[in-house]
């Protein structure tokens, strides 16, 4: 079967494409940025809302269409209205006009009459249009989807590793997570044996369970010792923290995702076991034994890296503040004199270095991603420079019992780690 697949480069789309190819289907991948030399791929940006007339030209010879495009949070140029509603609606109308045999829409559990979030409402709007069209179609509404490389999976892995996890209502809201492999198997089953008319199908794990129990299962699967320790927090405090997290670049957690989490995500009408002919995978089986340690390490890095970055920023900021006057200025001038700096030059060195430290601290917190690698190198070079100067002119500091200079060694290692873990900026023209 020749299948047009949108969102083919996304977390779920990639898995669907691989499964279709294994089953012998031909995949027409719709990509926002097709790689150079990709054969059979179609370039389309849902944010620009391709028209139904354009889609009809792409649908020539296509027997089925699967839409997996979706975002959990809006960002610049990527909005719910365009990606979840307007662009899919144009595709669905084109499928009806072109006589496409079957359409599968990847929606979300909760995109129903009780929907409140813009995420769910935008999904529901497209689902409603599809239900009104004369097509054989399936609207798949999965619960939380877990799988390697998934954004929500990474978030829940980090939560599972936390030494103490603050959760509203003690984490007793119900969820019913499903593994991506089971979700994809269900989609393929629907493609190969579609419903006679538009059907809405919930895809979920074997049973509802409390969020804290799901995270405890993940913690065990990751091989992290000890129980999951939950700190109950009030709902207003949780919402406030989510609002603050939503201001951080790249965060998938904000006020709206917090509201969705508080509402729970479970169903009593799970269609997946019937399609699979077996129960879906249990959460404690989501992570295979050989993948547990790499997954645990990746989650640990993602959990503690922001804290390391904040600690480095506070180190620079506090050093700058101390140098501006909290430490006796005359003592600072005495140390500079031993380095050979006197008078106006010493003042420039003292206050210039303090302002530089403050600037580095602020940039550590606020610099855009493309600046971070050079920023870590600049800090590493400055620490090395300070260490060399002190070694040459104030060598007794190496023997100080509080280790003011020896502490530069772990600081340098931390900066090197931050540099190594930072994603390199893409090359121009790449």
**Whole-number pLDDT of residue 429:** 45
CB atoms within 10 A of CB 24: 7
CB of 313 within 8 A of CB of 361? yes
Distance, CA of 216 to CA of 192 (rounded, Å): 36
Tokens found for residue 84 = 């979840």
Question: Measured on CA atoms in the order 155, 19, 283, 225, is the torsion positive or negative?
Answer: negative
**Whole-number pLDDT of residue 110:** 92
Domain boundaries, the chain: 2-148+175-207+266-285, 304-421
**Whole-number pLDDT of residue 427:** 60
Strand partners, 140: 106, 201
| Furthest-apart CA atoms within the chain: distance in Å | 88
Distance, CA of 246 to CA of 378 (rounded, Å): 29
In which residue ranges of the chain is pLDDT below 70? 37-38, 248-252, 425-430
DSSP state of 270: B
Strand partners, 103: 65, 137
Tokens found for residue 183 = 């979700």
Q: How far apart are the first and last CA of the chain?
A: 33
User: Model pTM greater than 0.95?
Assistant: no
**Whole-number pLDDT of residue 247:** 73
Question: Per CATH, is 2-148+175-207+266-285 categorized as 3.40.1000.10?
Answer: no
**Whole-number pLDDT of residue 53:** 96
């Amino acid at each position: 079967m020749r299948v047009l697949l949108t969102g083919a480069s996304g977390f779920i789309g990639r898995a669907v494409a691989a499964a279709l190819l294994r089953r012998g289907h031909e995949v027409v991948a719709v990509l926002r940025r097709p790689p150079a030399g990709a054969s059979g791929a179609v370039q389309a940006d849902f944010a620009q809302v391709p028209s139904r007339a354009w889609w009809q030209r792409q649908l020539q010879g296509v027997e089925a269409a699967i839409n997996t495009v979706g975002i959990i949070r809006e960002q610049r140029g990527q909005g719910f209205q365009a990606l979840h509603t307007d662009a899919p609606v144009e595709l669905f109308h084109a499928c009806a006009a072109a006589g496409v045999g079957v359409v599968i829409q990847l929606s979300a559990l909760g995109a129903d009459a009780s929907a409140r979030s813009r995420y769910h409402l935008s999904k529901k709007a497209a689902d409603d249009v599809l239900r009104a069209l004369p097509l054989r179609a399936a609207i798949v509404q999965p619960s939380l989807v877990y799988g390697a490389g998934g954004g929500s999976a990474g978030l829940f892995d980090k939560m599972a590793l936390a030494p103490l996890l603050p959760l509203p209502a003690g984490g007793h809201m119900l969820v019913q997570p499903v593994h991506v492999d089971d979700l994809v198997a269900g989609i393929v089953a629907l493609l190969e044996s579609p419903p006679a008319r538009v059907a809405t199908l919930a895809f979920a794990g074997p049973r509802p369970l409390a969020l804290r129990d799901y995270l405890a299962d993940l913690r065990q699967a990751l091989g992290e010792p000890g129980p999951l320790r939950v700190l109950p927090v009030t709902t207003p405090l949780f919402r406030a923290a989510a609002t603050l997290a939503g201001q951080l670049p790249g965060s998938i957690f904000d006020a709206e995702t917090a509201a969705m989490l508080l509402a729970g995500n479970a169903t009593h009408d799970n269609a997946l076991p019937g399609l699979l002919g077996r129960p879906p995978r249990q959460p404690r089986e989501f992570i295979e034994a050989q993948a547990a340690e790499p997954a645990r390490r990746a989650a640990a890095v993602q959990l503690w890296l922001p804290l390391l970055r904040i600690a480095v920023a506070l180190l620079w900021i506090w050093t700058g503040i101390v140098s501006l006057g909290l430490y006796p200025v005359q003592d600072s001038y005495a140390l500079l004199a031993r380095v050979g700096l006197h008078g106006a030059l010493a003042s420039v060195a003292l206050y210039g270095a303090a302002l530089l430290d403050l600037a580095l601290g602020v940039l550590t917190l606020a610099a855009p991603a493309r600046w971070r690698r050079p920023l870590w190198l600049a800090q590493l070079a400055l620490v090395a420079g300070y260490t060399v100067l002190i070694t040459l002119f104030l060598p007794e500091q190496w023997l100080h019992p509080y280790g003011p200079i020896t502490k530069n060694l772990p600081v340098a290692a931390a900066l090197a780690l931050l540099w190594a873990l930072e994603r390199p900026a893409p090359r121009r023209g790449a």
